[in-house]
Amino acid sequence: MTTACAVLLESSTRAESPAERYAGTDVVVAGQPFVPRAGELRTALERLPSVERAVPELSFPTTAVDASGRTVEAPWDGPSLGHSWESAVLGPFALRQGRAPARDSEVVLDGALAGRLDAGVGDSVRLAGPDGLRPYEVSGVADPPRPLARQYAAFHTSREAKRLARSAQPVRAVGVLRKKTTDSAALRRQVENAVTALYGDDAGALVVASGAGRADAEFWGVPSPAARLSSLVGTFGVLSLFVAGFVVSGTLTLAVAGRLTEIGLLRAVAATKGQIRRMIAVEVLLVTVAAALFGVPGGIGVAMLLHRVLVDGEVLPPSFALSVGPVAPWATVGLAAAVAQLAAFAAARRASRARPVEVLRESAAPAARLGRHRVLLGVGVLAGATGRLDGGGGTTESMVLVLMIGMALLAPLICRVAGALFLAPVTWFLPRDGALAVRNLLRQNARLAATVTPLVLALSLTGTLLCVPLITSQGAQRAERERLLADHVVSSAGPGIAPGYAERAARLPGVAAASGQLSVDGELSRADAGQDDEASVIGGSLVAMRAEAVPGLLDLGVRAGSLARLGDSSVALGDSAARGLGVTVGDRVRVNWDDGGRDTYRVAAVFSPDRDFADALLPRSSAARHAADPLDDTVLVRTAPGADRSTVARELKALAADFPGARTGDGATESRSGSGAAANLFVLLLLTMINVFTAIAVVNTLSMATAGRRREFALLRLAGAQSAQVLRVLAWEAVLTCVVALLLAAVVCASVLVPLSIAVTGSAVPALAGGPLAALACGAVVVAVATVTVAGRLAMRSAAATPGGLARAVS
């Protein structure tokens, strides 16, 4: 598994993300998201001696609808953008069919989009603009030298493109074409100097890119499939190595415990502590090399399988190549060897330090004793994890791993306590076989801990990863119900909802108030703060709405001021943002927009942070000019008193037919598809692999532990026990071991999920993925019982192979 994750990670780092729309340019000056004063910049660039031409690219989001009415989404969560035909030269886009758009009702499509729409020259297509769907006649089909793979493009006339952009600063970038005799490096230096001279201190808001950097400028704010894959496989590569460390540690602990007699004899004939440790370390190294001979090719095969599944599931594009180089396999082998050596050192340390007589005594009656340093370290890790859970810090997944480290360090002690608390009280209610199983488990804490630890890790990790999304979703729905006064919530199934939907919804009969919620990017600061006063600047989430509609749509738990005072020049701040800036109602704050602009507002209200809303609520009239994409995340609608709610709902649904991706509902925002579905698919795949690996590890651990009890089985047979009785005791031990593992996993999960649930939902009872967790628990019991049954039969068969076999086994 670690090799598979490493190969996918290496492939993602080697994956190319070439420029598409900007492939024909030599240098690109890109805004984040807009280029302010684009006309002045174009003039300044065209004056440079090395510049042949400077072309502004006007871009805006657009959505196409096919003949069946379904939205045509861009591939791999990429953008679907409209442009002015003037910027087609940046590709350069060459017409394969037809001609350039001559009228505002005409459009040129890229080849991929035309293929998805099954449209050719002269056909009519429907594209969504700010006012909804509008038919356009296809005047041509154009493609750059490298066809678009991560986006769709539609080209309009310059006048129509400006109308559709509906922005004071619609230019996203300015492409620079050099003269033939000019060096590219010299051109870039000239462009950088021109940008600095024009914008001064604000030049940092622009990016001057050339070569491979043009792709980063082109897809600003759009993560590539390779970037998403690298974050996922990196996380799960660490998890798989972490799980492997636990499994190897438990296996080596049992292996060393089964060789205590041998170690005692070696110590009795003058073997030193270092020799014992080196012997075990070399043995583990040889096993690691043998495992690498099978594990690395197997990991490459798993990587190929995962790659195919992700491509078939449209998580990765077909062009994403699987790169199998020397780095990933060697890095995996090195990490695996390091983990194995640490586990070997921990397993051999105690056995090598004991005196020969003690080792021989422990081989006859193993005693689980923990060293003082190990106990202190385990307590410290658990205490640190508890402090982070209380004070916040770290994700829930990382907290599970920290808790598991502490539990692994104290596993024998924890299992002893768990046995005393959970097993001993039920001894009187169990049959004789079950009671004997309880006594065996209470006496063999080390064996119990070696089996319980990987089970607890798999159960707690799986439970956390499955339950956290449910809790966060439940918390979001609860916060939304508390803050919404709106009767209807129109959510987006795509990149967003065009602003025309909210405008037309507000004019419907029976609607008291309607407004879209637009996310904008910027920083808040005090209006009197200097530019270098970083202490008075905070980043946060900013939402823009129609100021006059806010009081009828939202209940934000206002603590000071009133939402009714919101206007085109005022803002409402969250309590934490107001305290961070040191402002209150009546003070003035400044918003430093990401496009380089600045606006000043007066604070009209301060609202509660308990509503899980944005840090600032701004008037849409001014904020929309600075939005990267002027599309609403949701639209809130409130029915007028006396109006029929169902009638309004039908009208909103009918209106949504003109706005692709708009979905109507009653007070609950539906989740979006896209990259989240890709992440969920990968999480489920890797969780399945980790649980399969853990099952194999549990089978190996139980098999080793059972095979090492031949002497005990022989004694039981000599005392008159039947094979069926011994097997029933083993089955009870397996069931009770799983019960202890489930209870400890529940404690770990509760330690993480309950604080999260209280913080997010206000309830101490977290949402649970009951079906998958129940199936996992039942599967653990079945695997454990089946393993000890088979291993027990084999052990007793070998001990009683001959008439004198029992006596020889005892001796």
66, amino acid identity: D
Q: Which of 138, 146, 61 is nearest to 100 (CA)?
A: 138
pLDDT above 70 (res 581): yes
What tokens appear for 561 in the block?
């001021």
pLDDT of residue 670: 46
Per-residue pLDDT reduced to its tens digit, 111-155: 999 999 999 999 999 998 888 899 999 999 999 998 888 899 999
pTM of the model: 0.76
d(CA 446, CA 171): 68
Residue 255: pLDDT band (50, 70, 90) is confident
Beta strands in 493-587 (DSSP E): 511-520, 522-526, 537-539, 542-545, 558-561, 570-574
CB 780 within 8 A of CB 459: yes
Residues pairing with 572 in the sheet: 605, 617
Tell me whether the omega of the peptide bond preceding residue 412 falls within 30 degrees of 0, making it cis.
no
User: DSSP for 658-671?
Assistant: TSTTEEEESS-PPP
Residue 554 DSSP label: B
CB 553 within 8 A of CB 484: yes
Q: What are phi and psi of 186, to 5 degrees?
A: -65, -40
> Which has more pLDDT, 665 or 420?
420
Q: Which amino acid is at 466?
A: L
Distance CA 245, CA 137 (A): 62
Domains of the chain, by residue range, sit at 1-16+226-367, 18-218, 414-483+691-811, 484-673
Find residue 173's DSSP bridge partners: 30, 57
Instruction: Give the position of tokens 């393993």.
Output: 787
In terms of Cβ atoms closer than 10 Å to its own Cβ (0-12, 13-18, 19+), residue 272 is: exposed
Half-sphere exposure of 364 (CA within 13 A, CB side): 7
**Residue 672 φ/ψ region, left for φ over 0, alpha for ψ in the -120 to 50 degree band, beta for the rest:** beta
In single-letter form, the type of residue at position 99 comes to R
pLDDT at residue 370 in the model: 67
The DSSP bridge pattern shows strands 106-110 and 132-143 to be parallel
Q: How confident is the model at residue 391 (pLDDT cuts 50, 70, 90)?
A: very low
Query: Whole-angstrom Cα distance, residue 384 to residue 406?
Result: 10
Give the whole-angstrom CA distance, residue 110 versus residue 554: 42
Instruction: Report d(CA 484, CA 505) in Å as an integer.
Output: 17
Cβ–Cβ < 8 Å for 754, 746: no
Q: Residue 290: which H helix or E strand, with range?
A: helix 273-312
Task: Measure the N-to-C terminal CA separation of the chain; round to a whole number of Å.
Answer: 43
DSSP 3-state assignment of 508?
coil
Q: Which amino acid is at 149?
A: A
Q: How far apart are CA 537 and CA 523, in angstroms?
A: 7
How many Å apart are CA 194 and CA 177, to the nearest integer? 15
Distance of CA 499 to the CA centre of its chain: 30
Tokens of 53: 């031409």
Q: Which residues pair with 516 in a beta bridge?
A: 635
* Mean pLDDT within 768-795: 89
Is 70 exceeded by the pLDDT of residue 802?
Answer: no
Mean pLDDT, residues 209-220 taken together: 89
Q: What is the mean pLDDT of the chain?
A: 85
Which residue, among 306, 384, 251, has the nearest Cα to 696 in the 3D structure? 251
Q: What is the 3-state secondary structure (H, E, C) of 581-618?
A: HCCCCCCEEEEEECCCCEEEEEEEEEECHHHCCCCEEE
Residue 610 scores a pLDDT above 50: yes
pLDDT at 176 over 90: yes
Contacts of 770 (CB under 8 A, 6+ apart): none
Helix axes 499-506, 645-656, angle to 10 degrees: 150
- Higher-confidence residue of 356 and 283: namely 283
Q: Where are the alpha helices (H) located in 354-423, listed in sequence order?
A: 356-364, 372-391, 396-409, 411-418
| Average pLDDT, integer, range 505-525 | 92
